[in-house]
Structure 1
């Protein structure tokens, strides 16, 4: 067992969480700039409808790439527990199966995405004047998705072997490249949405290639061994059980986007979709520290669950929720205080500047407590308990938010869409706390 992984079972929990969560947070923050930078640049240099087009396309790309994320998170849970149990053979076999599954499935879905591009775009809300702009962007970005899928598979795997800084670097590379290429392609070459898509695709490729370089180098404890590419039924089954949580989560997000774009277009117009596009980008960036805590939580909890160190597991849960709740409170205060200034970053369109700030404040209302929900579902993933993890993961987007976003606008118009977010957050957090407390009382005493 390598020294870095061994520290997961002996080092002080608060120090471990900082060591794991800070690089994960920085990586997620920087990676989210890929989407934010696209939105800012197209909003300032192309127009409002371009923001709406990106809002439609990116959930499709992330649905496909979520296959890699699911394989990565499912496999990393197995790897963390295998390292905790000192079973390096299983860790290596799992890693080889992860690579094989990701490559096969990502390419398959990209082919399907190309063949059925127009129906897919229409389904996700590319209505009216949005469709031609969205189609131009999608036709380029789809080719970067396999690289993104590989990157999403590799990132949690790198953290599972106790090397969060390298996972952070992998997410920083594409964000920096995307900024440079967006300026070059959109502003100077005047390539419009095609240029924005090309910049994003190349940034995804850089991320995937960096992760491949890491695993091929001496820095990685997990080696790429061709014989481990042969799929093992038991390993694939376990990866699928745990990884399906992330895939289903992203699937729920994609269905949510269909419902949201339908409600926003039906009870509002293209501008309403652009309003949500801005709010969604702010959410991605603002929630990064809380997501970083949950990502840092996974390898620490997983290792100690595998090592049967229950007191350390309980301490990891408590401190992760504590840190995440403090961060969530700070985020809400910052959004409430600077909401108008935040919108100015994305656009100078008077309609968006008028409609977006109050909507964004409503969406962020329950941010101080969302860490409880994220850590609760992350615990069951780390423990290898697929069904409760899947249930808790689906609570917000699938069980509460999708129905609310469809029903409330029938009575309250676009305002109903915005209020569906805090209501779903609050309900899902309450249920998660109840389920997690029962689990702790039953299995971690």
Structure 2
């Protein structure tokens, strides 16, 4: 019996507004015409990359896998110096990687979030050197050493640090090589060019068309690699966008309000906090020192007052009953949702509201509620047993893991999501 193969391409920030242009490009057009698709993938909250990718591989929401943010809480540390949820051990639910490994399947992952030290046969995790660390040594330490060395020797010259389009070109070259020479049954890779471009230049413009064309060529190279490897006829492709992005004009620094009220302060030049907003782009968490009910009440009063002041762009203050319905990690009592055009930042020394357009800057981000208008992303499933040309309608990020498990006959266990069996004959 022929082996089954599944290739999952996380097409970061591939959202509904990109669908019309992308579906006219040759490789995506072919996959769409021969596959099952939807532009209605509902994300999780907050809609951050690492939170979503944890939900992909576990089939669970953040209240079960507990990756609640890209970054663990690190107050007063600059974002560029912060650790991220790089390691599989940060997840508290079983993953498709572990299930596949236990069943003896060959697995591969390239730049996949939350995959450091994972039991993956061929693994180059998404992990970044911070605070003077050596990038190469950090990847080697937390991925597959020999595989990583081999890929670096062959294709390292393509990369220019983490700059695009070079990083995704490197990932694609490694993917092609791995498919042809290793033939993993489960292969998951993360391509970031579109997300980076939206963050830096906004969600509209010729730069988006340029990225979509580059992405289509990369997808084509990966498909062609399966043909050269002789695995094409046994391969199911899943191409999925994790979140949308929204254009931002105002960055809001709510910790400045807490600093002005003495809830964030300095002792001998060292910053201290009683309450602290951990920004998540279009959302934010409120952290409160354990047992400090007075600070909690004061912070909530400040935030409620700010919500009625248009300049702060607070759309909602979400309390625990609402967070339960959104499957948010139970350790948090309060989250904040930004209005479209606004996002949250951490710094407590900045002015409370900064108009970045007045500074001549452009920016877009994500993190917002899944219910924001037209905030959904795309999914394409194509392969030998997929029903051609069907619209899958509304699906969820948590359905991806169970669907992969169904394709490869793996027991992922109890999940919040379901296998999209209607996509298959």
User: Which of the five TM-score ranges fits, normalised by the shorter chain?
Assistant: under 0.3
Higher helix share: 1
TM-score when normalising by structure 1? 0.26
Higher strand share: 2
